[in-house]
Amino acid sequence: IHCRKTEELLRGAGWPEDWIRSVLSHAWGMMTDVEPVHIMEKVLYAIDELTGLITATALMRPSKSLMDLGVSSVVKKWKMKGFSVGVNREVIDKGAAMLGLERKSLIEKTIAGMRRVAGALDLG
Q: Do 14 and 72 fall into the same domain? A: no
pLDDT in tens, 62-119: 999 999 999 999 999 999 999 999 999 999 999 999 999 999 999 999 999 999 999 9
Looking at the structure, tell me whether residues 31 and 54 fall in a common domain: no
Q: Give yes or no: residues 43 and 70 share one domain.
A: yes
Residue 117 backbone dihedrals phi, psi, to 5 degrees:
-120, 25
Give yes or no for a contact between 46 and 98, defined as CB atoms under 8 angstroms apart.
yes
Question: pTM of the full predicted structure?
Answer: 0.90
The pLDDT of residue 3 is above 80: no
Q: What is the reported pLDDT for 27?
A: 87
25 & 79 share domain: no
Q: Are residues 92 and 55 in the same domain?
A: yes
> Domain check: are 28 and 43 in the same one?
no
- Residue 46 CA to residue 69 CA, distance in Å, equals 19
Tell me: do 13 and 66 sit in the same domain: no
CA-CA distances (angstroms) from residue 113 to 31, 73, 87, 98? 26, 17, 19, 19
Using CA atoms, how far residue 28 sits from 45, 56, 57, 100, 112, in Å, is 8, 23, 25, 18, 25
Q: What pLDDT was estimated at residue 1? A: 62
Tell me, yes or no, whether 58 and 108 share the same domain.
yes
| Interval 10-67: pLDDT, tens | 999 999 999 999 999 988 988 889 999 999 999 999 999 999 999 999 999 999 999 9
The total of structural domains in the chain comes to 2
Domain of 62 in residue numbering reads as 36-124
Residue 4 predicted with pLDDT over 80: no
Residue 24: φ, ψ to 5°: -65, -35
Q: Give residue 2's pLDDT.
A: 72
Task: Determine phi and psi for 85, rounding to 5 degrees.
Answer: -60, -20
